[in-house]
Amino acid sequence: MIKLLATTAALTIAIATAATAQQPDLLSSLPAKAQKRIAEQRAACKEAEAQTTSGDIGLTQFMLGGKLAVLIDPPQLCGGCSAGLTCTNRGTRLVEIYRREGAGWVKVLNEDSFTGDLFLSYRPGFSETASELEAIVASVYYREAKDCPTKIMESASAQSWEARTCVVRWQNGKFNYKPL
């Protein structure tokens, strides 16, 4: 029995090692512009002596419309939202999503109005390696989109109180925003 367990454990380690060896590093497969932005963000965090990730850590991978996608969110790269480092002084930051198209990547989200935490919801049981994104729930600041507008206020300070929580879903090849 012990020999069988040891053999099973060795086989599991060999399979996991082979799978890891076959799977390319996600970061190095992204477009050069995305890699540069990630490297610059991490360098700024390191210089500020903030917690910093490396490699694929901090990149959120999921399926989007049946294709591999990756979310790049500065606070995930550097230990949270820090004004002037990973977020603006209002707590917003540039969040990007790239989706695999053939051998390359296409940017499908370029949102600079998300504030606070992003909550990602996945469809259950889609895949063992990556889950299909169902929705992103986020507060949106200064959003002038007709689907999820905020009230425009006279000052930036007053505007921050008008951030609106929206559900962001991938539908018909693009992201759609709806108020929560």
| pLDDT tens column, 37-75 | 999 999 999 999 999 999 999 999 999 999 999 999 999
CB proximity list for 41: less than 8 A, separation 6 or greater = 74, 77, 78, 86
* Average pLDDT of the segment spanning 121-134: 79
Give, as one character, the DSSP assignment of residue 44: H
In a domain, 16, yes or no: no
What is the span of the domain harbouring residue 163? 26-179
pLDDT of residue 144: 57
Residue 174 lies in a domain: yes
Instruction: Give the count of domains, the chain.
Output: 1
Report the pLDDT value the prediction gives residue 39, as an integer from 0 to 100.
96
Please state the pTM of the whole predicted model: 0.80
Asked if residue 153 belongs to a domain, the reply is yes
Residue 29 CA, distance from chain mean position: 16
| DSSP H helical ranges for 73-132 | 74-77
Residue at 80 is within a domain: yes
55 in any annotated domain = yes
Judge whether 19 lies within some domain.
no
Name the band, by pLDDT with cuts 50, 70 and 90, for residue 4: very low
Residue 143 predicted with pLDDT over 80: no
Task: Give a yes or no: residue 21 inside a domain.
Answer: no
Cα 22 to Cα 61, 118, 126, 141: the distances in Å are: 17, 31, 22, 41
Considering the domain boundaries, does residue 14 fall inside one?
Answer: no
pLDDT digits (tens, 9 = 90+) for 145-178: 567 777 777 776 676 677 788 999 999 999 999 9
Instruction: Tell me the average pLDDT across 99-125.
Output: 91
The count of other CB atoms within 10 Å of the CB of residue 124 is: 8
pLDDT (0 to 100) of residue 150: 72
Reported as a single tens digit per residue, the pLDDT across 73-111 is 999 999 899 888 999 887 889 999 999 999 999 999 999
